[in-house]
Amino acid sequence: MKVMMYQMDVIAGKPEENRAKVSEWLQYEYKKYEPDVVVLPEMWTTGYALDELEQIAETSGGTTEAFVQQLAKEYNVTIVAGSFAVKTDRGIVNRSIVVNEKGKIIHTYDKIHLVPMLNEPDYLVGGNEKATTFSLNGVNAGVLICYDLRFPEVFRTLALNGAEVIFVVGEWPAARRDHWDTLLKARAIENQCYIVACDTVGEHNNVEYSGNSLVYSPFGTQYVRASPVEEETVYSVLDLEEVATFRKSVPNLKNRVPDLY
């Protein structure tokens, strides 16, 4: 599986400008790599302009959703569309969607864990449905968002449901950059799956973002790592046979004794 991520410097509060950035990036970079999957970061349309979300967040089926669907069809590629703010009857959620090459939404996930360090609970409501797996061109996959990384249970649930690849889309602060790296590697090893993590760079409201988008294999091997500060394209080829090989040789998922935990 060929994966291409956009480690993006998001323009806070400017959805139209950020959509234009993604469109230009994909137009330029797709021809170089011809990926199977394109990955965008968390909150890539608005950034953490949380106090503006009442005005700029969209409803389900809005402009950003249609924009991603059109790109997926135009480039014949599956897009893990990071996440963006969506208005619902319950409030504004931090939502990720996955759109296949035909422009069909094949997966939706609303961020369960809201990060208090960035004041998300003051402006957003957490998702009220479990994270689930989905089929991505025959590969069992899952998507989680940023602060979810600190909760190993949700990753383990996806792995137990067969996830071979878990995409983590983030806007992770540079102040905790080491945690990003360490936890991503741990989630890959303990769940014996690929972790594909797409982060942002730049800063907003005196918060600098950590970059370091990366891919870890089920063995904990780092396939690729982006700059901590530069906007860039991150590309990697995943060998999905590694998942089955490692799960067979070190069967820790089968050796669990949850009744004693």
Mean pLDDT of 13-29: 98
Q: Which two tokens stand for residue 41?
A: 């970061």
Please report the pLDDT score of residue 248 as a whole number: 96
Catalytic residue (one of 65, 111, 120, 164): 111
Q: Provide the β-strand partners of residue 38.
A: 4, 79
For the question of residue 42 being annotated catalytic, the response is: yes
Mean pLDDT of 1-12: 98
* Residue among 213, 169, 170, 220 at smallest CA distance from 194: 220
Mean pLDDT of 136-141: 96
* pLDDT tens-digit readout, 192-216: 999 999 999 999 999 999 999 999 9
Please report the pLDDT score of residue 237 as a whole number: 98
* pLDDT tens-digit readout, 115-138: 999 999 999 999 999 999 999 999
Q: Determine what percent of the chain is predicted with pLDDT higher than 70.
A: 100
Domains in the chain, ordered, with CATH? 2-250 (3.60.110.10)
Catalytic residue (one of 21, 42, 164, 198): 42
For the question of residue 111 being annotated catalytic, the response is: yes
Structural contact between residues 58 and 84, judged by C-beta atoms closer than 8 angstroms = yes
Q: Determine what percent of the chain is predicted with pLDDT higher than 90.
A: 100
For the question of residue 58 being annotated catalytic, the response is: no
Amino acid identity of 154?
Answer: V
Give the C-alpha separation, 42 to 109, whole Å: 12
Mean pLDDT of the chain: 97
Confidence of residue 10 (pLDDT cuts 50, 70, 90): very high
Mean pLDDT of 244-254: 96
Please report the pLDDT score of residue 212 as a whole number: 98
Write down the H helix ranges in the chain.
Answer: 15-33, 53-56, 63-75, 152-160, 177-191, 241-249
Mean pLDDT of 160-168: 98
pTM value > 0.75: yes
C-alpha dist (Å) from residue 49 to 6, 43, 75? 20, 9, 30
* pLDDT tens-digit readout, 73-105: 999 999 999 999 999 999 999 999 999 999 999
Catalytic residue (one of 146, 171, 193, 198): 146
